[in-house]
Amino acid sequence: MTQSTGMFDKVLIANRGEIACRIARSCAAMGVRTVAVYSDVDVDAAHVAACDEARRLGPAAASESYLDIGKILEAARDSGAEAIHPGYGFLSENARFAEACAEAGVVFIGPPVPAIKSMGSKSAAKAIMAEAGVPLVPGYYGEDQSLERLESEARAIGFPVLIKASAGGGGKGMRRVDEAGKFAEALAAAKREAKGAFGDDHVLIERCLIAPRHIEVQVFADTHGNVVHLFERDCSIQRRHQKIVEEAPAPHLDPQRREEMGRAAVAAAQAIGYVGAGTVEFIADTDGRFYFMEMNTRLQVEHPVTEFITRQDLVEWQLEVAAGRALPLRQNELAIHGHAMEARIYAEDPARDFLPAIGRIEDLRLPESGPNVRIDIGVRAGDAVSVHYDPMIAKLIVWDQNRSGAVKRLQRALGRFRVQGVVTNVDFLARVARQPEFAEGKVHTGFIEEHRAHLLPEPQASPDEVLAFAALSELQRIDREGLERAQESNDPYSPWHVTSGWRLNSDNFHAFHFRDAVGDTQVVAHYGDENYRLDLPGGTVEARVSQTAAGDLRAVLGGKQITATVLGSGERITVVLDGLAYELERYNPLTAGMEAALPAGTLTAPMPGTVTHVYVAEGEAVEEGQALMVLEAMKMEHTIAANGAGVVAKVNFAAGETVSEGAELLSIEAAVTG
């Protein structure tokens, strides 16, 4: 860590996406020039445009670009950058990278190498925290990794237990085990995932707390011996052990408990000689007791909520500390102002167990940002969500004077955040924000499972109002195309340009056929003098339509005025009404039903990715639910299991091969009975 108190002239940002854009924004405000790095698929990415200059790293694979230490240091030398900000993910908690920066004479904007190493192993971290007097969850953190020892320790702790990877985080290598008979299988899966994600299959065993809260404390330390905490964040709402909604301060946390957690977090930072931004994560039981989980030696994804309530720029603090300056404020100068919430927008499908999604962002509509609404985003309309990286699209952060005000702002902002072209979790987040228990602050790590029926409802037929807006949007499209043809024609008054559905001796109408998750529906639009008459499943209504200044559609349907956002046109249409999106497909009834169906027993890839394990061979008998293959993509592992008892007829891919979504992985012939 440099002891110079002069601010850097140029910083290289060794990351991509929204965090790279966010770091670039603070650097620009401080007058610090920035250097972006990019892989071949990111040459035109938003983070490249956000920086003053950029350097190519290599192919799309992270191992050949964003994780290549040599290439990043070469980019720093070539650009003249004095410091490197790693963001989060990638190399941000890699001690070898921090050491390489020091050897190259480049400042690593992060903690000292010993601090990274000591917190890099959860087991080692627990031992350090125990010595520092920080409370720990009952568990086993030893070096003996034999099945016999781990199984014995799990029995002694008492089920349910959590198996957790000793290295890394983000839920990788984590399994909950509710009974002894399932421990060995869960342990093997956790070790395999940990080895693939972190190169280390060591695990620890902890008691699994029922309905706990995940509360973390932001800490900061400088090279002058000053350590402060910037209060806590509640990150309890999670899927796949990864956070998706965070807030600060934590709801229903009494001042005494807040002070105790803050002191424990500062003690944790002091115990390892910490410098820079870090997060001490605790698990809080229903009785109010809290236990150390881990320390993240980097800036966190959810840091904006802390920035909102403290009115501080944490990236600016990072640069100040890395330049050798003292912390801008002392503990008694820090205070909580209002309440902030963050929702992570991902390209993923909540209805398919939150599997990552890929695709091109065809249209992007954002809520208006300002003093109370902030959007950290790293994509633009036209960008592709790639299989190579984390599928986060953006972070939506809101602030208000109190929690109830913040909840309302979050609800409104999510209703105005729309992405067309790729499946997202926006509607799911909107349902979370509308859940009464969320408004009451009754959050815990099992929140999604507890309210699954409301948060992940069964598909419903599209309401008449949605179908009406889809039809009205199509009518406007047809009118526009007719006008364009007329303007380009040598005979603009030709009847061939008329779009009103005119027919000789017949009613003037257009028939539209829409398909949603439930089925097919026909909407017939009849032309009137100044309006339309729409035949909908629930009856016929008179309709008028106009466009707002914001590009939304305002319709009068049967005397009721409604506004909706309609994205896309032609085959795929998204109608956003009352804050929820409805996906529709226009189809031709003459060709419907002609798609080829996959044969029974076929197992297909739920997402594009890489096959990491194949457990069966052709001709092998399998049982329903048996693990057959493991597919990994976008930092997630998905096990392909047998959908019925039978014999493996065909295995189409081997370990190491890449597959596209929908590819036939294996096929199983039903077992012959009788």
Domains of the chain: 10-109 (3.40.50.20), 138-207 (3.30.1490.20), 213-455 (3.30.470.20), 464-586 (3.30.700.30), 602-670 (2.40.50.100)
d(CA 294, CA 206): 13
Tokens standing for residue 493:
């008054």
Is 298 in the active site?
yes
In a 3-state reduction of DSSP, which class is residue 540?
A: strand
Q: For 307, which DSSP code?
A: H
Residue of 384, 344, 315 lying closest to 39 (CA atoms): 384
**Whether pLDDT at 345 is above 60:** yes
d(CA 17, CA 87): 10
Residue of 597, 606, 615 lying closest to 651 (CA atoms): 615
Average pLDDT for 662-671: 85
Candidate list 16, 175, 233, 298, residue with the active-site label? 298
pLDDT computed for residue 123 by the predictor: 79
pLDDT tens by residue, 67-115:
999 999 999 999 999 999 999 999 999 999 999 999 999 999 999 999 9
d(CA 573, CA 177): 43
The predicted model scores a pTM of 0.81
CA-CA-CA-CA dihedral for 295, 229, 115, 38, to nearest 10? 80
**Whether pLDDT at 592 is above 80:** no
SS3 content of the chain, % helix, strand, coil (to 5): 30, 30, 40
pLDDT computed for residue 483 by the predictor: 75
Taking CA atoms, 465 is separated from 193, 205, 312, 315, 541, in Å, by: 46, 52, 45, 46, 10
Longest dimension (CA), the chain: 91
**Terminal CA-to-CA distance of the chain, rounded, Å?**
74
Residue 342 confidence class, pLDDT cut points 50, 70, 90 = very high
Pick the range with the lowest mean pLDDT from 310-319, 503-512, 644-653: 503-512
Residue 601 CA neighbour count, 13 Å, CB half: 14
pLDDT computed for residue 569 by the predictor: 60
**Whether pLDDT at 333 is above 80:** yes
DSSP H/E element including 569: none
pLDDT computed for residue 395 by the predictor: 98
Tokens standing for residue 89:
């993910």
- Using a pLDDT cut of 90, give the percent of the chain over it: 67
pLDDT computed for residue 491 by the predictor: 58
Is residue 240 within 8 Å of residue 171, measured between CB atoms? Answer: yes
